Amino acid sequence: MIILERWYSNAMKVVKDTAQLYLFEVQANKKRLVEPFNMSLLKWIGSKQRMAHEVISYFPVEFGTYFEPFLGSAGVLGTLIPKTAIASDTFSPLIEIWQSLKKSPSVLKEWYRERWQKMMNGDKVQVYEQIKASYNSKPNGADLLFLTRSCYGGVVRFRKADGYMSTPCGIHKPISPESFSRRVDEWHKRISGTTFLHLDYEEAINMAKPGDLVYCDPPYAHSQAILYGAQSFSLEHLLSVIEKGKERGVYIALSIDGTKRSGNLICDLPLPDGLFEREMLIDIGHSMLKRFQMNGKTLEGEKVSDRLLLTY
C-alpha cells in the first residue's frame, strides 16, 4: 500500500510538472497583438512609442496588474491600454503631469495653451527661455509639459550637479493647442485603469504579485548619462530586484542596451546566467540623443537596437 501511494505521488508530480511546462511553452509561443499607437503626449528621449506594439507582442497573453516603474513618456503603457496598472517614476514633475492627466485633463490643456500662446505672441526663443527659467527656479509639471514639446529634438536633459534643465529651444513650431487637446483626450481614455505613483523602481516592483507583469525601461548607462536620474542608476541593483520578483512568480520584461553605440563602443552589458529565459532584439532606428549630440547630422551609421529580456 505504501509503495502504491509513493508511486501515485510521483506520478502526479510528473503530471503536474508536465502540465506546467506545457502551459509555459504555450504562454511563451503565443503573441499578444495590439495596434501601433503613434500619438505621443510628451516628447521624451528613449521613448518606446514607435515600437511599443512590437515590445508588447512578447508580453504574456494573460497577466494580472501591469507595472511600469520607469514611466517616462509612457509609450508602452499608452499602446497596451491595460485594464489595471500602476505606473511610476522618481521624477516628481513628470508624475505630476500624468496624475493631472488622470484627474483633470482640462488642466493639462490649459497648461499647454497658456504657454503656447505666449510663445506665438512673442519672441519664440525668449519666451522659451522664460519658461525654462520658471521650471529651473521651481521644477513643476506645467512648465515641463511644454518644454518637452518645444525643446530641441525633444531631448530633455538635466545638469548632473543640480538638475538644471539645459536643452535649448527647438527649431520646430510646437503643435497647436487644438492638436494637443486631442492627444490629451485620447490619452485620458487609454490610462483610465492606471494609478500613477511617485515611487522608486524597487518599491514599485516589490508591489507586484505572482502573475503580474512588470516592464522595465531604465536609463541606459552608456548613452543616457545626461538624462534625469541616469547618473545614480545602478543596473546591478535593478537586476537583483528583478531576480527577487522572478522568484515570487512575477513576469518581468527588461529593455536594455543592445547594439547601441556610445562613441565607438558597442554596449555589451554582462547579465547573470539564468535570470532571463528569452532575449529579442528590437530595432528602434536612429538614436535621437546621438542626433542631438551631432547637431542634427545624418546618422546612417548609428542604427540602434534594444535587447528585450524576459524572465518567462
Q: Span 75-94, mean pLDDT?
A: 97
Residue 2 lies in a domain: no
Give residue-wise pLDDT tens across range 12-38.
444 444 443 334 444 445 678 999 999
Residue 76 lies in a domain: yes
Give residue-wise pLDDT tens across range 236-253.
999 999 999 999 999 999
Q: Span 179-206, mean pLDDT?
A: 98
* Cell 499602446, located at residue: 79
Give residue-wise pLDDT tens across range 262-290.
444 455 677 899 999 999 999 876 554 44
Residue 194 lies in a domain: yes
Alpha helix ranges (H) inside 222-266: 235-247
Residue 45 lies in a domain: yes
The answer to whether residue 167 scores a pLDDT higher than 90 is yes
Instruction: Report pLDDT for 310.
Output: 98
CA separation for the pair 33, 65 (Å, rounded): 18
Q: Give me the domain span that covers residue 82.
A: 34-310
Residue 77 lies in a domain: yes
Instruction: Report pLDDT for 21.
Output: 38
Residue 269 lies in a domain: yes
Which helix (H) or strand (E) segment holds residue 21: the answer is helix 2-29
| CATH value at residue 264 | 3.40.50.150
**Strand pairing class (261-262; 265-266):** antiparallel
Three-state DSSP at 299 gives: coil
pLDDT classification of 6: cutoffs 50, 70, 90:
low
**Strand pairing class (251-257; 303-310):** antiparallel
Q: Select the more confidently predicted residue: 128 or 284.
A: 128
Contacts of 284 (CB under 8 A, 6+ apart): 48, 50, 51, 304, 305, 306
User: How much is the mean pLDDT over the chain?
Assistant: 84
Q: Select the more confidently predicted residue: 153 or 94.
A: 94
Residue 159 lies in a domain: yes
Question: How far from the centroid of its chain's Cα atoms is residue 124's Cα?
Answer: 30
* Cell 515641463, located at residue: 144
pTM of the model: 0.82
Looking at 71-85, 109-123, 243-257, 276-290, which range is the least confident one? 276-290
Domain count along the chain: 1
The answer to whether the CB of 219 falls within 8 A of the CB of 230 is: yes
